[in-house]
Amino acid sequence: MHWLTEPFQTEFMQRAFVAAIIIGVVAPVVGTWVVLRRMANLGDAMSHGTLAGVGLAYAAGINVLFGAMGAGLLIAVLLLTFSSNRRLGQETVITVLGTAFFALGVVVISRLDTGVELTHFLFGRVLTVTWGDIWLNLGLGGGAVLVVLALFGELRLATFDHVQAEQVGVRVELVQAVLVLLLAVVVVISLRAVGTVMSVTMLVTPAATARLLARTLRQMTVLGVVFGVTEGVGGLMLSYHLEAAPGATIGLLSAAVFAVVFAITLPRRMPHHHRPLG
């Protein structure tokens, strides 16, 4: 029991614990739709691209979370603007925007003469999590979850039956735009604890693990949250005892859980056992 409670004796670890729970809940709720719509590449581009906003905000002396959110919103607007060009595939636009914003972030941070390391933003630094960050994350994360709950039916139709969704009046492009914005929110709330790079891990891996077990959308969402919270808190505890980077440890634990579940469920996922999620 001491092994479990020891990491949370200090206030900075208590703040990190709360931050990990928030991420563990919000990221899989949004990640469920990212996995089902095969948008993991967009999540990856968003997580890298927000580094530009982080660098510019840090240089300006304002909260980096606001910078990350601004970059995420800008990426979302540009994506929706350029993806309408039929000569360019959406994946091409996503890759160009993600790498361009990431490169800008690296250049800006490398020019800062403050001793700040790029790895702090890429992989997180729990020592920098403040109660102000946590309250902001709670507000953004709570809003994201409420949006998903409010649009659950529209998201389901737009994901599984694009044609019927349009026939019954669902604005599919608007649903897509909202999901892109929710991706930005997840990256922002993950920034301090796990960093921009590892945020995509929390977004995709718990939801992907849940997909292997769930038979309904609600099951997938709930299981994703269970995996997300468990892996976030568990990775944080392991990083403390191993004296390792928290973001990377959480990422490794998430990947390990996915591998185990994948192996266990392999017989059930043989062709004659497969049933579509609905």
Contact 196, 122 (CB under 8 A): yes
Q: At what angle do helices 11-36 and 172-213 cross, to 10 degrees?
A: 110
pLDDT in tens, 176-191: 888 888 988 888 888 7
Percent of the chain with pLDDT over 70: 85
pLDDT at 9: 75
Contact (Cβ atoms closer than 8 angstroms) between residue 176 and residue 1: no
Predicted confidence band of residue 222 (pLDDT cuts 50, 70, 90): very high
pLDDT of residue 263: 92
The pTM assigned to this predicted structure is 0.83
- CATH number, span 2-273: 1.10.3470.10
Give the pLDDT band of residue 132 (cuts 50, 70, 90): confident
Burial of 138 (0-12, 13-18, 19+ CB in 10 A): middle
The residue ranges of every structural domain in the chain are 2-273
Q: What is the mean pLDDT of residues 217-226?
A: 94
Average pLDDT estimate for 114-119: 59
Q: What is the pLDDT of residue 102?
A: 87
- List the structure tokens of 262: 């994948």
| pLDDT at residue 98 is higher than 70 | yes
Taking CA atoms, 151 is separated from 31, 62, 70, 137, in Å, by 15, 33, 23, 21
Say yes or no to pLDDT of 273 above 60.
no
Q: What angle do CA 16, 227, 219 make, to 5 degrees?
A: 135
Inform me whether the pLDDT recorded for 114 exceeds 60: no
Q: Which amino acid is at 166?
A: E
- Is the per-residue pLDDT at 27 higher than 80? yes
Distance of CA 271 to the CA centre of its chain: 31
